[in-house]
């Protein structure tokens, strides 16, 4: 509680939560309910006016996490107050974690703005459904500015600011394992001369599942994989795309049983670079219906010894799926360093 008092030492204006000194979050981020346009404008305007009085005419920078390319409603409202607004995406390939490049931009922009003077403050806003990524970015900011230590503790503290059920409602998979991995990347900046490090291209050779999960009700599964990320060969285009998807009718797709084998090896052999999402689903007997098994997001620049070994606590899975994975389960992502220079 003493640590929380350190960060919440002044009562902020109604409608705002103060995460740390001069960093505020709109409490509308903690609900899934929509707003009537007129009421929303009054809500935002009232908060801004209160905050300006509270901080004696501050300079405010707003970060907004949203979907789509059209101008957001909050941008239209705050334009009347001559405030700077920076938009960020709400997810990366359905995962509420952003790329290292975007995280780096957010952290440097935040630090630069707050360092300009005590009258500068940050306002954080997310559109409906954006709380998981906003919570992650707030945790990254606290770690980056050394105002909190410990990735798990920091992320838990931020998530506790909203109702517990909101997290489950907005994210069908538990994203915390991937979020914690990226918070560890942020924490490493103090140990490296260059951050973020250069992300060389690799070949994702294969994935090995040790100790078969039970997704068919009979102690087995039929795993297929999809890989999303930047195409290393399209240097000018950093938009993510599907880099690999196991054909459902491929001869390589097979059912694995716990009683028959302890591991499943799935070849992928695709070039990857930078931020990557690997998704594993289990096909039903009809070879059409799918059940999500797990997802993992990582950045190739932080891979050591060209292998990423993840236990069942380090993969994003459905909230109620833990018991479908054996206690000793692991997913091993094998990668080979490429010899060409992009």
Active-site positions read 126
Strands (E), 222-342: 223-229, 241-245, 256-257, 263-272, 275-283, 290-299, 307-311, 330-337
Q: For the beta carbon of residue 231, count every other beta carbon within 10 angstroms.
A: 18
Pairwise CA distance, residues 306 & 308, whole Å: 7
Contact residues for 21 (Cβ-Cβ < 8 A; gap 6+): 7
Q: Is 217 left (phi over 0), alpha (psi -120 to 50) or beta?
A: left
Task: Give the pairing of strands 120-126 and 23-26.
Answer: parallel
By C-alpha distance, which of 186, 93, 171 is closest to 139?
186
Q: What would the two tokens of residue 157 be?
A: 């503290």
Q: Classify 70 as helix, strand or coil.
A: coil
CB atoms within 10 A of CB 32: 10
């Amino acid at each position: 509680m003493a640590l929380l008092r350190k960060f919440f030492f002044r009562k902020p204006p109604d409608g705002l939560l103060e995460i740390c000194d001069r960093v505020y979050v709109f409490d509308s981020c903690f609900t899934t309910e929509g707003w009537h346009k007129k009421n929303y404008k009054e809500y935002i305007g009232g908060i801004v006016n209160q905050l300006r009085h509270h901080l004696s005419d501050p300079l405010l920078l707003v970060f907004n996490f949203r979907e789509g390319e059209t101008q957001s409603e909050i941008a239209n409202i705050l334009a009347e107050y001559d405030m700077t607004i920076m938009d960020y995406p709400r997810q990366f390939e359905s995962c509420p974690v952003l790329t290292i490049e975007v995280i780096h931009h957010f952290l440097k922009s935040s630090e630069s703005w707050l360092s300009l003077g005590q009258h500068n403050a940050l306002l954080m806003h997310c559109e409906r459904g954006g709380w998981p990524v906003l919570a992650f970015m707030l945790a990254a900011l606290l770690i980056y500015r050394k105002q909190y230590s410990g990735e798990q503790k920091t992320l838990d503290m931020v998530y506790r600011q909203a109702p517990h059920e909101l997290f489950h409602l907005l994210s069908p998979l538990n994203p915390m394992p991937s979020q914690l991995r990226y918070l560890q990347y942020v924490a490493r900046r103090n140990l490296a001369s260059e951050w973020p490090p250069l992300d060389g291209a690799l070949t994702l050779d294969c994935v090995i599942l040790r100790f078969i999960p039970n997704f068919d009700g009979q102690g087995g599964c039929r795993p297929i994989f999809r890989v999303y990320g930047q195409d290393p060969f399209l240097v000018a285009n950093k938009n993510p795309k599907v880099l690999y998807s196991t054909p459902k009718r491929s001869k390589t797709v097979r059912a694995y049983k716990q009683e028959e084998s302890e591991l499943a090896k799935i070849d992928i052999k695709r070039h990857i670079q930078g931020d990557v999402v690997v998704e594993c689903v289990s096909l039903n007997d009809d070879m059409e219906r799918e059940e999500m098994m797990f997802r993992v997001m990582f950045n190739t620049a932080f891979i050591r010894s060209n292998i990423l070994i993840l236990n069942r606590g380090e993969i994003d899975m459905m909230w109620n799926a833990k018991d479908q994975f054996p206690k000793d389960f692991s997913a091993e992502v094998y990668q080979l360093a490429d010899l060409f220079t992009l």
